[in-house]
Structure 1
Amino acid sequence: MKEAPSGPGSRSWSRAFTDIRDGFHQRELWGHLAWQDIKQRYRRSVLGPLWITLSMGITALGLGLLYSQLFGSPVSTFLPYITTGFIVWNFILGCLTEGTETFIKNEGLIKHLPAPLTVYVLRTVWRQSIMFAHNMIIYFLVIGLFWGAVTEPGYVITEGGFEQPGLNWSILLAIPAFALLAVNAGWVVMLFGIVSTRFRDIPQVITSLINLLFFLTPIVWSTDILKQRFGDAVSWRDLIAELNPLYHFIQILRAPLIGNEQSWHHWAVVGGITVLGWALALVVMRNYRARVSYWV
């Protein structure tokens, strides 16, 4: 059933919040759809969803070995750093790229299934969460292999870099960190999904910027390198990382997972973006939710 694309009744905060509430209540629907997405992607494959883990492991291993030599970093600490960064990056990347096509790819369901739009948002976020869980297998393998190095207090990621406290009970901070990433994934998918449904160039723009964002984000390189090369004085080079919001999102989860020093400002930045992002997504949801079925 389609809803009128305009009118005073179609633009109300109550309908927007009702959509979100009803979407969460239909967790069996979006949970089932997300699992079906995973099964369909690897249908008739021998390894099935394990290909997610295998491809992640090969990529992390190859780049970890390469960049550890380029930067003169010990493999025992640099490989866990780059592996964990890749796992978190893949979750963020999936929410960005697949989020832009959330409603476009669900055109048939939107037009024929009277379900809240939030169902399709949660379908995308849950699918990415499942893939994240698969990739965490690689994390446990790498941490188990280099346990002695990452649990030693004072270890460094790169030669001459900052000393890290080592893996300890602060790893529990990874739980609220991922929860915060998932909360942000919700507004990202909702906002970019609605905007991309109206303006079909947005997915191509996001895809074009992905490679640039990847190399600008400390994933295959560490901020220690900036300090070693340019000293401790604050300069525009430090802003390459600090002004990159993706760096803060990755760091709040990566740091506890590999025993890096925690910094409150990463949490503050992510918290501020969470509030602003959801505020903007709710405004867009309120004004354009009823038009999505006409745009797809």
Structure 2
Amino acid sequence: MRADLARMTSEPEGEAPASQSRTMKAAWADLVRGLGQHELWLLLGWQDIKQRYRRSVLGPLWITIATGVMALALGLLYSVLFKVPIAEFLPHVTVGLIMWGFISGCIKEGADIFIDNEGLIKQLPSALSVHVYRLVWKQTLFLAHNMVIWLILVLIFPRNLGWDLLLAIPAFALLIINGVWVAMFFGIVATRYRDISPLLEAGTQLLFYVTPIVWMTSTLQENMAEMGSRAKLAQLNPLYHYLEIVRAPLIGAPLPAYHWWIVIGFTVCGVILALIAMRQWRFRVSYWV
């Protein structure tokens, strides 16, 4: 096993490690080199899942069962409270929970990604981004398992999805790109400042309640007319737009174009922010862990 890892992480002869240069080009080269070491992070991500559910009969399906039970409970409860038909509200909650699992996993586990991989970082000469790709790959596998719940809902509550369903593919791609920069940025910062991780844990929990996952923005505006324009404050939450570009195609809801532009804008800014953090501090991570 160790020999295989060494082979996957070996540096090409005659090339200097990119970490020796504090430039944006070198930071980008780390991302590219890590992507090229896909055999390594694909293997490590799969091993993470096997290790987590070792000796378990159902394995990762436990996450699917837990997500499905939570979606069913919250969907039934809040559909009654908000007086929304269950056929409309349950798919909204379910897809929201599935996507939230991916987003929150990249944020919370991303903060500890380099700390948890201290041994590999110090012993194997791989690109720093390998550990980030490993995390995002693992979260993607969890998301794929949970999409079984969505398939079941489509069969129970048939919806006219149409060709708009294909919009979920670029939306998933944007989520993955954001998962990479989020894990990279917070992973580097939280390795240097260890208080960041518990702050992100608490902050992510708070974001769950202010993001329209178990509630709908349309219902909020209808049931709280006395609040007027204040009900539209949910639009200021960027995670709302991230959820919408994936959820709307999957449940057959209309998707205004401004959601895409907001997500693309945040994605570009986030990638630049992660590259700046890599340029400044990525070569210090091995000393901080």
Q: Same fold (TM over 0.5)?
A: yes
Q: How many aligned residue pairs are there?
A: 272
CA distance in 2 between counterparts of 1:50 and 1:141 reads 14
Pairing partner for 2:23 from 12, 19, 30? 12
Alignment match, 2:277: 284
List aligned pairs for 1:71-220, cutoff 5 A. 71-147=82-158, 150-151=159-160, 167-220=161-214
Mapped pair 1:244 → 2:234 = no
3-state SS, counterpart of residue 260 of structure 1: coil
Question: How far apart are residue 233 of structure 1 and its match?
Answer: 9.0
Structure 2 portions without partners, runs of 5+: 1-8, 10-18
1:9 shift after superposition: 4.4
TM-superposed deviation, 1:124: 0.5
Aligned to 1:37: 48
Question: How does 1:227-238 map onto structure 2 within 5 Å?
Answer: 227-231=221-225, 235-238=229-232
Distance 1:217 1:107 in 2: 34
CA distance, structure 2, for counterparts of residue 230 and residue 51 of structure 1: 38
Whole-angstrom CA distance in 2 between matches of 1:222 and 1:137? 23
Is contact 1:10–1:290 with CA below 8 Å preserved after alignment?
no
Instruction: List per-residue Cα deviations over 1:198-253 (Å, max 9, x = no partner).
Output: 001111001111221111000000011222124499612211x1110110000000
Q: Which amino acid in structure 1 is aligned with residue 115 of structure 2? A: I
Amino acid at match of 2:255: Q
Quote the residue 2:263 is aligned against.
Answer: 270
1:34-74 C-alpha deviation (Å, 9 max, x unpaired): 00001111000111111121111111111111111111111
Separation of aligned partners in 1, 2:33 and 2:275: 15
Code of the aligned partner of 1:46: V
Amino acid at match of 2:28: F
After superposition, the C-alpha distances for 1:141-164 in whole angstroms (9 at most, x for unaligned) are: 1111111xx33xxxxxxxxxxxxx
Q: What's the TM-score, normalizing by structure 1?
A: 0.89
d(CA) in 1 for partners of 2:210, 2:145: 26
For residues 70 and 226 of structure 1, the distance between their equivalents in structure 2, rounded to whole angstroms, comes to: 12
Q: Considering only aligned residues, what root-mean-square deviation do their CA atoms show, in Å?
A: 1.6
Matched, 1:293 2:282: no
Asked if structure 1 preserves the Cα contact closer than 8 Å seen for 2:220 and 2:231, the reply is: yes
Q: Deviations over 1:62-89 (max 9, x none)?
A: 1111111111111111111110111111
Structure 1 residue identity aligned to 2:98: I
Separation (CA, whole Å) in 2 of partners of 1:99 and 1:70? 35
Deviations 1:163-184 (A, max 9, x none): xxxx221011000000011011
Specify the code of the residue in structure 2 equivalent to 1:207: E
Matching residue's letter, 2:142: M
Within 2, Cα distance between the matches of 1:37 and 1:116? 19
Distance 1:10 1:105 in 2: 25
In structure 2, what is the Cα distance between the partners aligned to 1:30 and 1:211?
A: 28
Offset of 1:290 from its aligned partner?
Answer: 0.4
